[in-house]
Amino acid sequence: MQGTNPAVRALENLNLKESLNNLLTLEALGTALKLAGILALGLIVVRIATGITGRLTRKTLSPRTSELLVKFVRYTGFFLVAVNLANAAGLDLSALLGAAGIAGIAIGFAAQTSISNLISGIFLLTEKAYAVGDVLDVGGGTVGIVDSIDMLSVKLKTFDNRLVRIPNETLVKSNITNVTRYPIRRLNINLSITYRDDIEKARRILAETADSNPWVLRNPAPIFIVEGFGDSGINLFFGVWFAKDDFVDVKNSMHVDIKRRFDEEGVEFAFQTLTVYQKKG
């Protein structure tokens, strides 16, 4: 070996380096292909799993419950794909998980609100009080169409085209009115006529107005109630039933027609008056 030509030794070292470089290049290429395969296969499996979950749950559960289960399956699948990618890349997850455990204690205190919203969402899920597309009236006076139902909040689209995000915890603590839960609704009309007017005449006019309205349902029949004697006149209540999608048409047409018929029949709406006496002397 001592008599080996230096040029030969240099050539051997060069060949060894090239072999190592080729080996590392092939190993890196194999790892990259492996990661790409895991990612592609994982995403395909997640997509298939979410699709099957959606088809199965839509047949037996409410749309809201089905949507939440699909999201749970999707996020769980993404997490498992990420773990498998890390293992295939040779990353040591034990140290990462240990650090995450320490950080989790601090994060847990900061995430109390999120956890509360998550638990509240589960309670709302079991009640099935609303679904995507329903019109909700939340206690604070917010009214809108349910645009999406998420794990932590519900998003409403208001009728003036604004997006309102309401945390699930707030919904649990608030009074919620589902305006469109049932296929038919009642339009409540409160009005007052003067003491000079005939109550039966007003009742007849209201009944005829409802009967001639194309959006008012005949069954259930309209409701007429004399609520009592007010400060300025006789307070009346008149309620008509209609299909929930016809709300705007019914409300506009009924108020316009009642005003027109009362004017034609000489029935006056009562309004507050103020009498001022001037002291003489």
Per-residue pLDDT, 249: 95
Residue 42 has pLDDT above 90, yes or no: no
pLDDT in tens, 58-75: 766 666 667 777 887 888
Lowest mean pLDDT among 11-15, 91-95, 156-160: 11-15
Distances (CA, A) of 1 to 8, 10, 12, 16, 17: 11, 13, 13, 17, 20
pLDDT-based confidence at residue 212 (cuts at 50, 70, 90): very high
Rg (CA), the chain: 36
Average pLDDT over the chain, rounded to whole?
A: 80
Highest CATH level, class, for 184-265: alpha beta
Judge contact between 42 and 84, C-beta under 8 A.
Answer: yes
Per-residue pLDDT, 264: 94
Token pair, residue 261, equals: 């018929």
Per-residue pLDDT, 172: 83
Per-residue pLDDT, 1: 47
Angle between the 247-265 and 199-211 helix axes, to the nearest 10 degrees?
Answer: 140
Find how far residue 66's CA is from the centre of its chain: 13
* Region at 141 (left for phi over 0; alpha for psi -120 to 50; beta for the rest): left
Per-residue pLDDT, 86: 75
Provide the 8-state DSSP code for 142: -
- In single-letter form, the type of residue at position 279 comes to K
CATH number of the domain located at residue range(s) 130-178 in this protein: 2.30.30.60
Compute the CA torsion angle 131, 136, 138, 143 (nearest 10 deg). 140
Residue extents of the structural domains in the chain: 9-91, 130-178, 184-265
Q: What three-state secondary structure class fits 152? A: coil
- Alpha-carbon gap, residue 54 to 64, rounded angstroms: 11
| Average pLDDT for 176-181 | 88
Residue 161 has pLDDT above 80, yes or no: yes
Question: Is the pLDDT higher at 148 or at 65?
Answer: 148
Which residues have C-beta within 8 Å of that of residue 273, sequence separation ≥ 6?
232
pLDDT in tens, 243-264: 988 999 999 999 999 999 999 9
Q: What percent of the chain has pLDDT over 70?
A: 72
Token pair, residue 153, equals: 């909040």
